[in-house]
Structures are given as C-alpha cells and as structure tokens.
C-alpha cells in the first residue's frame, strides 16, 4: 500500500510541472505590455521600466520561467501587485471558506445522491427509476449561479430565513459558519446530487447483474443486506471516480457561488484579481488551484487503491 | 456510466457498424425523452435563428419610462433596468449562446477526435505526446480555463469559442482513442493495410464510423456544458460585451436588481436551464442507444 501511494505521489510531479508551464505561458500571452496594462497608458517611460524590472519582465523568457519555478519550489507565491500583500496571506485567509464549501457540497451530493441512485437501481424501469433519472438530469443541468439566485429569492428574500449576503465569519464561530454555509452548499450540492445519483444507479445496476449477487439472493439473504454489504462495496469505485472527476467542476463553480452569495473564497479572489488586472495575485491563485486539482486527482487514484485491492497490484 | 466503459462497450461490438444516423434512430426508439430533448433544443435554435422576426422589440432599444415593468400584455416577460424588452433580449441572447455552444463543440469534436484517432492508431511516442498533453489540459476545469483565456485575450466571441474548445478537445481525444486501440487490431483493418490504403484513409473512413456514436453522445453533453459556461462567464462579466444581449449578462443585471425586478433573472435563467436540460436529455438518450448494455431492456 505504501509503495502504491508513493508511486502515485511521484507520478503527479510531471503533471504538475506541465500544468505550471501552461499557466506560465497563458499568463504571459497577454497582448501588450503588462506593465503598461497595470500603470495605464499615461504612465511615464521610467515608471514602466521600473515596474518591468520589479516584475522581472526585463529578463529573457527562459530566465523568467526558471525564476517562476524556483519561486514555487521555495513555496513563495509572490505578492499582490495591488495591495503588496504576500499572495500566501490572501490564500490562507480565504482558502478555508472555499474548502468548507467544497466539502459540504460533496457531502450533500453523497448523502442524497447515493440513496437516490440505489433506489432507482433497485426499482429499475419503474416510476421511481424514471423520476430519479429525469430529476438527477435536471439537477445537474442547473447553472450554479441560477440555483444560487433561486435559493436567495426563496429563502432569503421571500421567507427571510437566511441573510441575503453571507459574511466572513471567524473560523471559531461554528454555528454561525454553518448557518452561512447552508444556502451556498445546497446550491453547489444540488449539481453533485445529480452526478452522484446517476453514477450510483448505473454502477449498482452493473454489480446487481454479477453472479455473486445472484448467489447471495439464492442463499436467501435479506435484500437490504445484499445491497449494503455486497453490492455497495463494488459499486463504490465508479462513484468515487465521479466525485473526483466533478471536483474540478465544483471548484470552478465555487467562483460563481462565491460571487452570488458574496462569500469570501479563492474563486471570488480570482475574479477580483482579474478585474483589477492584478497578474501576480492571479498567477499565485492559479498555482494554488493547479496544486489542488492535481492533489484531488491523486487522492482519487489512491481511493481506488483503498477500495479495490486489484488496483493496487497493477 | 463512465466514459471508459461507454467506449469499451462500443469497442466490443464494432461488427455492427451503425453510422451516425443509425445511432440517432436507435436512440429515439429506445428513449422517448431523447425525442423531447431534441425537439426542445431545435425549437430554441429555431427561435434564435428567427429572433429578428420573432422579437417584438429591438433588444437594445431603451424605453426608460417603462423601466423594470413586470410582465404584462405589451412586454410579455417584463422589462429590465433600461426599459428594454426582456423577451426580445432573451431571444437575441439565444443566438450568442447557441452559436458559441455549437461552434466550440464542433471545434472540440474535430480536433479532439482527430488527435484521439491518431494517438490510438499510431501508438508509441505520438500517443504518449498527445495523451500527456491532454492530461495537462484536463487539469483545468472548464470555467477556470474560460476565465483565464478570456481574461488574457479579451472577451470576444472567437476567444470564448477557443477557450471552451480547448477544454473539450481532451475529452473527445480520450473517447476516440480507447476504441481505436482495439479496432486497429481487427482483420478488416489489416485488410485495408494490405490494400495499401493510407493511414489517414483507414483512420477516418474505416475506424471513425465505429467511434462516432460515443462522440455524438459526448457532443450533445458538451454543447450543454459550453452553453452553461458561456452564461457563467457573461454572468461574471467576461462574456460578449454589453449592450449585446447574452443570457448570462441579463441574469447578472437582474441579480443586481433582484429585490425590485426578480423576473429578469428568473426568466433568463430559465432559458439557460431549459436549453441545457434539453441537450442533456438528448445526450442521455443517445448514450443509452450507444451502450448495448443499456439498450432495449
């Protein structure tokens, strides 16, 4: 198991390096001079030259690339051009909000999606199955910001149960934090419920057709025991894949959810960096995102290994 | 159902060569909701095409006196903050959404399946190079890639299409590659080679028809995603520039006035939801038709 995990960790390095390279290229294909873009067209030639020097834009591209990788290797994400604050500090203060939102939406997705999928699979081609299939397809068709707007309209404006704008609540105030998290997490979780329900249904259906399930039935085992103990374990792999696969989507959607609910978070920070043309902050945030996604893919791989011993031996 | 198992299923039964049309017909016989999805999507596309004739008002004409009027007999879906007719704006906005959705899907399909066929057929270093590059592109969520490209290159329609196509290419490459690896070992491909057919002819004339079903499924699902992402980018303010009507842009304007004019966001959002749902229904039905394990039971 240790060797399996070590191998997975090592295999992430080339991907990460490639992703960082793509980021470096994308951030540098900005048309025109970033220094002029930041300072405006009226800036003096000296000011532009000084900023270029400060940003390292006067170095040749390969030197910039080397410095970029060295900086990341040292755990330095640079500092924001707009505020002068180290990017790390910005990340540290907002990452918990994005993380709690992501984790809460996955939990909602699994808590509702798995039972719906199991119910649909065990009642195949009945009205329950059709309702679950159409319902989950509808759920995952919702644009993230539309769900958020509908929830605000219903629960904040009409019913007044929740604040229209959630604020940054201190980490220690758990009750208030959960209260502020509820609507955003439901909004993101709805899409996840759709994906998890569909994946569970098809993967449970597949396992239900296996010989060993027929044997268990022939032995007269309680159908609930068969589903919970024998089917679920093998049906879990594709479900884990789907959760891993759509984590990227969830992280992308957090941008929208954070904007609509005016929640602090990495996504909202990215959009602010974009609108202020704060390229160093943007670059730092994108590096964090890239690490996060490569990490998620790796954890998904490791999770397969934990669930299915056959994957470990390959 | 995962991508890989759909592809494997298609690879297992390539002897029954169903072309694109055969697949669609089978889908509709197997799954009535696919019909519904196609019909709704075609209706929306038709409305978009006929927007200049269907829309009761000019989408950017301001009727300041009637600003934020709730739906009534003159303005069926009400007006926005500038007194522009919401129905007309949603109809014109459909043109942007559908053109961007379909064009980026087409670019993703063409580039992605060509790369996937080449990777699967030639193998070796070419395959390594292509598939590793695809892995890197896959590391960016669609919305984040869209944000980056549009923020760096500017919010034009072409840039939006490029950004979306970039995230779709690896998905189509993967789906095209997996069955190609199995199919290239078959006798009829050996026969093609013996006849001296060029690699390109074998790939595109003799292998592609076996893969097209899976590609069609993915194409309709990704058109849906592209339309959703385009709306998301316009919502953030990175879409086609105002005053041009875009669904995401309308929803944003409505959201800024949600207390006074909730109908603006509601109706425009409904347009996005309906289009995306219709395409997902279509893709889902196609998938049932392509995967023999899901068919006709």
pLDDT given at position B7: 44
Residue B136 lies in a domain: yes
Exposure on the CB side of residue A197, measured as CA atoms within 13 A:
28
Query: Could you read off the pLDDT of A212-248 as tens digits, one per residue?
Result: 888 888 888 888 888 888 788 778 877 787 787 777 7
Q: Which residue has the tokens 């509820």?
A: A182
Residue B11 lies in a domain: no
Chain B, 208 to 267: residues with Cβ < 8 Å from chain A are: 224, 228, 231-232, 235-238, 251, 255, 258-259, 262, 265-266
- B1 inside 8 A of chain A by CB: yes
Residue B16 lies in a domain: no
Across the strands, what pairs with A86? Answer: A79
Domain that holds residue B145: 40-290
Rg over CA atoms, chain B: 22
Residue B253 lies in a domain: yes
| Whether this model's pTM surpasses 0.80 | yes
Residue B80's pLDDT band, with cuts at 50, 70 and 90, is: confident
Q: Which residues of A touch B2 (CB under 8 A)?
A: 199, 238, 241-242
CA distances to A193, B31, B78 from A200, rounded to whole Å, are 10, 20, 42
Query: Could you read off the pLDDT of A35-73 as tens digits, one per residue?
Result: 776 677 677 778 778 777 777 777 788 888 888 888 888
> Cα(A192)–Cα(A248) distance, rounded to whole angstroms?
12
As for how many domains chain B has, the answer is 1
Burial per residue of A98-135, b for 16 or more beta-carbon CB atoms within 10 angstroms, e otherwise: bebbbebbbebbbebbbebbbbbbbeeeeeebeebbee
pLDDT given at position A33: 65
Residue to substitute from A30, A143, A291, interface B, most B β-carbons within 10 A: A143
For the domain that residue B215 is a member of, what is the CATH number?
Answer: 1.10.3720.10
ipTM over 0.90: no
Q: Which residue has the tokens 């890197």?
A: B136
Residue B20 lies in a domain: no
Which parts of chain A sit beneath pLDDT 50? none
Q: Do A15 and B236 touch (CB under 8 A)?
A: no
> Cα(B69)–Cα(B84) distance, rounded to whole angstroms?
10
Chain A, 232 to 261: residues with Cβ < 8 Å from chain B are: 238, 241-242, 248-249, 251-253, 255-256, 259-260
> Cα(B246)–Cα(B164) distance, rounded to whole angstroms?
17
Residue B95's pLDDT band, with cuts at 50, 70 and 90, is: very high
Neighbours of B206 (CB within 10 A): 18
Residue B180 lies in a domain: yes
Point out the residue among A241, A274, A294 whose CB comes nearest to the CB of B2: A241
- B272 inside 8 A of chain A by CB: yes
Residue B217 lies in a domain: yes
Residue B213 lies in a domain: yes
Q: Which residues of A touch B152 (CB under 8 A)?
A: 26-27, 29-30
């Amino acid at each position: 198991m240790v060797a399996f995990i070590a191998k997975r960790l090592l295999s992430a390095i080339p991907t990460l390096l490639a992703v960082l390279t793509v980021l470096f290229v994308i951030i540098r294909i900005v048309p025109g001079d970033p220094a002029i873009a930041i300072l405006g067209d009226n800036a003096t030639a000296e000011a532009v030259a000084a900023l270029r020097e400060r940003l390292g834009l006067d170095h040749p591209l390969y030197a910039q690339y080397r410095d970029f990788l060295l900086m990341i290797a040292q755990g330095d994400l640079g500092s924001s051009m707009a505020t002068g604050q180290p990017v790390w500090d910005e990340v540290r203060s907002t990452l918990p909000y994005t993380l709690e939102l992501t984790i809460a939406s996955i939990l909602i997705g699994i808590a509702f999606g798995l039972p719906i999928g199991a119910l649909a699979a065990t009642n195949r081609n009945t009205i329950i199955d059709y309702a679950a299939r159409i319902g989950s397809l509808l759920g995952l068709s919702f644009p993230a910001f539309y769900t958020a707007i509908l929830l605000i309209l219903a629960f904040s404006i009409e019913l007044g149960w929740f604040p229209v704008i959630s604020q940054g609540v201190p980490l220690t105030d758990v009750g208030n934090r959960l209260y502020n998290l509820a609507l955003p997490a439901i909004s993101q979780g709805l899409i996840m419920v759709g994906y998890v329900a569909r994946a569970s249904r098809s993967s449970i259906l597949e396992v239900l057709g296996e010989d060993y399930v027929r044997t268990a039935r022939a032995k007269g085992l309680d159908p609930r025991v068969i589903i919970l103990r024998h089917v679920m374990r093998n049906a879990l792999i594709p479900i884990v894949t789907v959760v891993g696969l759509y984590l990227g989507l969830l992280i992308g959607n957090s941008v929208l959810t954070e904007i609509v609910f005016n929640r602090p978070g990495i996504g909202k920070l990215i959009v602010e960096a974009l609108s202020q043309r704060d390229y160093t902050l943007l670059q730092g945030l994108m590096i964090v995102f890239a690490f996060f996604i490569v990490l998620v893919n790796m954890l998904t791989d490791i999770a397969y290994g934990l669930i299915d011993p056959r994957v470990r031996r390959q | 159902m995962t991508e890989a198992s759909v592809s494997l299923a298609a690879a297992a039964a390539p002897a029954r060569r169903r072309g694109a049309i055969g697949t669609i017909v089978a889908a509709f016989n197997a799954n009535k909701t696919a019909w519904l999805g196609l019909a709704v999507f075609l209706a929306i596309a038709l409305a978009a095409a006929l927007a200049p004739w269907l829309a009761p008002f000019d989408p950017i004409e301001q009727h300041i006196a009637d600003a934020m009027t709730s739906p009534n007999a003159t303005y069926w879906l009400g007006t926005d903050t500038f007194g522009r007719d919401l129905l007309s704006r949603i109809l014109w906005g459909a043109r942007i959404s559908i053109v961007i959705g379909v064009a980026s899907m087409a670019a993703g399909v063409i580039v992605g399946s060509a790369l996937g066929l080449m990777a699967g057929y030639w193998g070796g270093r070419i395959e390594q190079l292509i598939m590793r590059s695809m892995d890197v592109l896959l590391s960016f969520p669609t919305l984040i890639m869209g944000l980056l490209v549009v923020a760096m290159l500017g919010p034009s329609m072409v840039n939006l299409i490029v950004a979306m196509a970039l995230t779709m290419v690896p998905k189509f490459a993967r789906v095209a590659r997996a069955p190609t690896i199995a199919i290239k070992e078959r006798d009829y491909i050996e026969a093609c080679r013996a006849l001296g057919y060029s690699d390109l002819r074998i790939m595109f004339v003799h292998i592609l028809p076996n893969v097209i079903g899976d590609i069609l499924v993915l194409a309709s699902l990704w058109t849906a995603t592209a339309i959703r992402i385009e709306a998301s980018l316009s919502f953030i303010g990175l879409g086609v520039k105002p005053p041009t009507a875009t669904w995401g842009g309308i929803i944003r304007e409505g959201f800024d006035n949600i207390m006074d004019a909730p109908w603006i966001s509601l109706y425009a959002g409904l347009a996005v939801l309906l289009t995306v749902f219709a395409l997902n229904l279509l893709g889902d039905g196609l998938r049932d038709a392509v995967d023999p394990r899901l068919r006709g039971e």
